Amino acid sequence: MPSPLQPLASRAATGGLIAAGLLAAGLLAAAALPRQQAASAKDLPDPAVAETPAGRPTATATAVLAGGCFWGMEAVFEHVKGVKEVVTGYAGGTAATADYERVSSGDTGHAEGIRITYDPSRVSYGQLLKVFFAVAHDPTEVNRQGPDVGSQYRSAIFPTDPEQRRVATAYIAQLNRSGVFTKPIATTMETWRGFTPAEASHQDFVARNPNHPYVVLHDKPKVARLKAEFPRLYR
């Protein structure tokens, strides 16, 4: 994705940027880049395996997910009822390499991700996963989302406890069996190694830059799908 601190320019080596003219021309972008798979929320089953009540004794819980550019992921989950806070950042690598420029190289082990603090009495981890798979990104893409290419844009789940790992593992298997997607789920289940918040310029980027070309083309449509397909969860 384009850095908010840089002009729009081609950066195919890292998958971080696409040409300014291509980005501004939505029709050209749509024609030149692979389309994300359309999986309507109504087609996705609810998770068959749920967290046990004893697994969530506190008023808040934390989920860490990665699925392409963290701007759009953050924007989607900020509109989910029961979510108290969403922070963009880096997961999967070490804190020493958790900065935007180094992560953009694709060799730090990090993925651009979000940390979600939520109220499990209002929204379950399973519901968050359904939003993740249905509208937040394309879970069948390997190391890319739309124009963004590289391992830092992989689809990944970072369970913060055994309950989350159990629910997420079962749901991925369930989705693969369901045949909702024409390709296998590429989402990886990764070891929790902590989460480093991204730079201030990347926090609440969509809310602060609603007319940014990348936001208009790639992020706002995700929020619109959330509203249309999850009306009871949307706020």
The sign of the torsion formed by the CA atoms of 175, 146, 187, 135 equals negative
128: which 2 tokens?
């968050």
Closest CA to 63 of 112, 144, 129, 122: 129
Distances from the Cα of 134 to the Cα of 19, 54, 140, 225, angstroms:
28, 28, 11, 9
Strand ranges (DSSP E) for 92-205?
Answer: 111-118, 144-145, 148-149, 155-157, 188-189, 195-197
User: How far, in Å, CA of 17 to CA of 2, rounded?
Assistant: 5
- Burial degree of 194 (CB within 10 A; 0-12, 13-18, 19+): middle
Residues catalogued as catalytic: 69
Contact in structure between 196 and 90 (CB atoms under 8 Å): yes
Pairing between strand 111-118 and 148-149?
unpaired
Q: Give the bridge partners for 103, in sequence order.
A: none
